[in-house]
């Protein structure tokens, strides 16, 4: 009888372990516009097979993904319906059961806000039968949100369009507040530049949403200046760190649109590990079947306690030692507690600010040890 119980318990725990081992993962798709760009009237999309490889890869890996998010500039010439046709066909390669959100970029509309073609190919009706589709602001799908749960983690994602009306910001804020217990993500086409400066739209969104405590990640594209990287005008990658109520919020820029052909569909895989304490970001091209290396493309960020360098949930001597041995320049590294691109005194102070509990415990241990030797001496002397 006891053997049977042990067997059942062992089976139960092994299934729990299997669930814990699979982490939520969200794919970010930067600007696809140059895969579809029709330079001449007799061309129907420039590199549709390149874009298709990206969405086929998402479909092939759907079982291990939580969602995919498009950063905008889906097409290059908004008024060319062939580009929208190709883009729609690419997106159709992915099962609609996988949650997705698409930001409207500056190439996806007629300025200032005519999104007729976006809404012809990606209307709310295309998604609203899916349980993850949350709804949209106003009558169009320009600004929409999705909510879903994967591996026990709740997410809410808001997609804000290029140049949204002021009321859309209030709507976005109300969505995050309605899903207060969800991990919040925003996608908006233009937000920061590669030199970490604000785009005016990003600054405006920041002013409206800076106090939203559950907004933890912002993904954006658009920029191709590449400054100060080695490929100005070709690609852009950057991370800006903020702290909201003591928790880190990251603005993550990625765009590779001018890499031949058609941006080579470099996508971002964002994997949430260590019980949502760490974000592991990698950059992969399904077309090239290559991964980008270097700390701008392949890095980890701390989503949890400030100073918890190894993201194990507590700040202690291990984090302190890791920080001290990484002293100096350190782009997108976990030891860069304040996210300024280097490990230094400010990071040390931030870590020490959260290490007080550990130090208190250490002090108690010292007092106990010194008292113990004192008591032992007294006992010895009294004999
Ligand atoms: Ca730690
Ligand atoms: Ca730092």
Nearest to 270 by CA among 137, 155, 161: 155
Ligand 2 centre to CA of 43 (Å) is 49
125 has pLDDT over 60: yes
Ligand nearest to the CA of 313: 1
How many C-beta atoms surround the C-beta of residue 273 within 10 A? 15
Query: Residue 14: is its pLDDT beyond 60?
Result: no
Confidence grade of residue 46 (pLDDT, cut at 50, 70, 90): confident
What is the CA(205)–ligand 2 centre distance, in A? 25
pLDDT at 5: 38
Measure the CA–CA gap between 299 and 286, rounded to whole angstroms. 19
- Phi and psi at residue 136, in whole multiples of 5°? -145, 165
The ligand that comes nearest to the alpha carbon of residue 347 is 2
Task: Compare 43 and 320 and report the one with higher pLDDT.
Answer: 320
Average pLDDT over residues 163-187: 98
pLDDT at 364: 65
Asked whether 119 and 140 are in contact (CB, 8 A), the reply is yes
Tens-place pLDDT, residues 219-257:
999 999 877 677 788 999 999 999 998 899 999 999 999
The mean predicted confidence, pLDDT, of the chain is 89
- For range 101-113, the mean pLDDT: 97
> Could you tell me the distance, in angstroms and rounded to a whole number, from the CA of residue 323 to the centre of ligand 1?
11
Does position 4 have pLDDT exceeding 50, yes or no?
A: no
| Beta strand pairing call for 133-136 and 144-150 | antiparallel
> What pLDDT sits at residue 36?
87
pLDDT for 373: 67
The verdict on whether omega for the bond into residue 261 sits within 30 degrees of 0, i.e. cis, is yes
Whole-number pLDDT of residue 371: 73
With the CA atoms of 66, 72, 73 and 78 taken in that order, what torsion angle do they form, in degrees rounded to the nearest 10?
100
Higher pLDDT, 37 or 172: 172
Tally of CB atoms within 10 A around 237: 26
Q: 């032992």: which residue's tokens?
A: 376
pLDDT at 377: 65
338 pLDDT more than 80: yes
- Checking if the pLDDT of 17 tops 90, the result is no
Band (8; pLDDT cuts 50, 70, 90) = very low
Closest ligand to C-alpha of residue 314 is 1
- Whether the per-residue pLDDT at 136 is higher than 60: the answer is yes
Q: List the helix and strand counts (H, then E) for the chain.
A: 10, 16
Residue 224: is the preceding peptide bond cis (ω within 30°)? no
Mean pLDDT, residues 145-156 taken together = 97
Tens digits of residue pLDDT in 275-333: 999 999 999 999 999 999 999 999 999 999 999 999 999 999 999 999 999 999 999 99
Least confident of 6-20, 22-36, 269-283: 6-20
Residue 40 has pLDDT above 80, yes or no: no
C-alpha of residue 13 to centroid of ligand 1, in Å = 26
* Count of other CB atoms within 10 angstroms of residue 289: 9
Can you tell me which residue has the tokens 């030891």?
335
* Alpha carbon of 365 to ligand 2 centroid (Å): 31
Ordered domains of the chain (ranges, CATH): 22-304 (3.60.21.10), 313-383 (no CATH)
What pLDDT is recorded for position 359?
Answer: 67
> What does the pLDDT read at residue 9?
36
Q: How far is the CA of 334 from the centre of ligand 2 (A)?
A: 10
User: What is the pLDDT at residue 30?
Assistant: 97
- Residue 10 CA, ligand 2 centroid: distance in Å: 45
Sorting pLDDT into bands at 50, 70 and 90, what band is 358? low
Instruction: Write the DSSP symbol of residue 214.
Output: T
Overall average pLDDT of the 372-378 stretch: 65
């Amino acid at each position: 009888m006891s053997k049977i119980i042990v067997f059942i318990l062992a089976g139960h725990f092994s299934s729990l372990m299997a669930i814990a081992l699979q982490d939520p993962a969200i794919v970010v798709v930067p600007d696809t516009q140059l895969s579809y760009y029709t330079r001449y009237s007799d061309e129907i999309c420039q590199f549709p097979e390149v874009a298709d490889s990206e969405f086929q890869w998402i479909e092939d890996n759907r079982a291990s993904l939580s969602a995919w998010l498009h950063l905008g500039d889906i097409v290059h010439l908004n008024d060319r319906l062939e580009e929208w046709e190709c883009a729609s066909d690419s997106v159709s390669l992915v099962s609609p059961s996988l949650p997705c959100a698409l930001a409207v970029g500056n190439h996806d509309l007629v300025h200032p806000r005519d999104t007729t073609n976006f809404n012809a190919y990606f209307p709310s009706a295309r998604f609203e039968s899916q349980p993850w589709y949350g709804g949209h602001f106003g009558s169009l799908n320009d600004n929409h949100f999705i909510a879903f749960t994967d591996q026990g983690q709740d997410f809410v994602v808001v997609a804000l369009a290029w140049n949204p009306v002021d009321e859309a910001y209030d709507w976005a804020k109300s969505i995050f507040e309605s899903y207060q217990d969800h991990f919040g993500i925003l996608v908006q086409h233009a937000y920061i530049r590669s030199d970490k400066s604000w785009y005016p739209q990003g600054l405006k969104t920041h002013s409206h949403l800076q106090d939203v405590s559950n907004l933890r990640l912002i993904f954006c594209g658009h920029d191709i200046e590449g400054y100060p990287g080695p490929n100005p005008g070709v690609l852009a990658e950057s991370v800006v760190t903020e702290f909201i109520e003591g928790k880190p919020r990251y603005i993550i820029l990625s765009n590779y649109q001018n890499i031949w052909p058609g941006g080579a569909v470099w996508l971002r895989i964002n994997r949430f590990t260590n019980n949502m304490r760490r974000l592991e970001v990698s950059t992969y091209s399904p077309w090239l079947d290559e991964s980008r290396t270097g700390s701008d493309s392949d890095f980890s960020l701390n989503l949890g306690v400030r100073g918890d360098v190894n993201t194990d949930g507590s700040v202690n001597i291990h984090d302190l030692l890791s920080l001290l041995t990484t002293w100096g320049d350190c782009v997108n590294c976990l030891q860069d507690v304040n996210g300024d691109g280097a490990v230094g005194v400010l990071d040390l102070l931030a870590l020490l600010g959260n290490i007080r509990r550990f130090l208190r415990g250490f002090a108690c241990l010292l007092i106990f040890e010194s008292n113990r030797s004192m008591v032992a001496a007294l006992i010895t002397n009294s004999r």
